[in-house]
Structure 1
Amino acid sequence: MLGALTMARPANMRATVFGLATKPPYVVPQMLDGNLETYWQSDPRMSDGTSPFVRVDLESVRSLDRIDIYFGTPAGGLLPPSGEVDTSVDGANWRHQASLAAGQPEMHVSLPAGTQAQYVRVSFDAVKPNLAIRSFQVRQSVPLQITREAADFGVPVTAQEGHH
């Protein structure tokens, strides 16, 4: 099968935490490493009491498909309060994408076609929440061109509608 193929892949990104302190050794990079066994954890005793949120910077405006956030520790504790997920192209003007229910262990947001953003933010309604984020993933579509010269998989490749 030759032609265009679009596959979602994680976007390069960095995260910043606002209004929340980090409880060592559960540091911010652990929520971006793709490992569900590691996590970032807030320290409510050290938080500054402002409206807390976590913002991810994708370093440039990109076409986005999906946001996946895994909350809590691997054992299931420290789930989030209610909140929301927003996107922005400039970090100042935000577009609401989804609401977060209190105690929700995972959030999977399929974004409308054509969504462009450089920043993704999850904000929390509680002041000084005690929470953990195991993984914060932002996925973008990357078009791949399959040609006769670049289609050497070594095994037969088929596509069936409705099957993954």
Structure 2
Amino acid sequence: MDFDHFDKEQFFHAVWETIRIERGVKQGLFTFGESQLPYFLVLDSMEEGKTVSISQGEVRITRPTIITPETSHPEFQNFFENQQEEGMVEFLIARTAGFSHLKFHNQKKGDAKIVSDSVEEAVAKLNKQLDKEDEESVAILSAPADFAGLAIFKYAADRVVESTPGNVQELRERGFLP
């Protein structure tokens, strides 16, 4: 029996649970073309007394207009800074077909800001700021510092899954599906 596989799966689930979508968005993905998903990412240093960082960015998810063998696998740009994160996503994607044909591009906006607050305080301040601006299209994510790319992937994956029923319905209405 391959216990190494079990350990990787257990580790993946443990890490996945530490990543939170603190403020979600209701906006779905476009059925055709490109969708933009802006976010704030709050990273915990995981070391006692260390600071929390906040970065801002946007994920662009593009669906191909023509599906070919070259577009049959998902593509990720600017997501993962280490091999461990990339391996976790490959582990997840190997178990689902839901992400095939999608192109994910992560674009960071500026440098991360270092704040001395806790993750909870940083999230509360961002929520207050976004509420004041009446901004409903920006998500807030939080994660351990080593898993920033995985946090952004989790947010993008959540939007793909949530958008699927509406996208399928639109394809039916346009006559692409029975």
* TM superposition score normalised by structure 1: 0.26
More strand by share: 1
* TM superposition score normalised by structure 2: 0.25
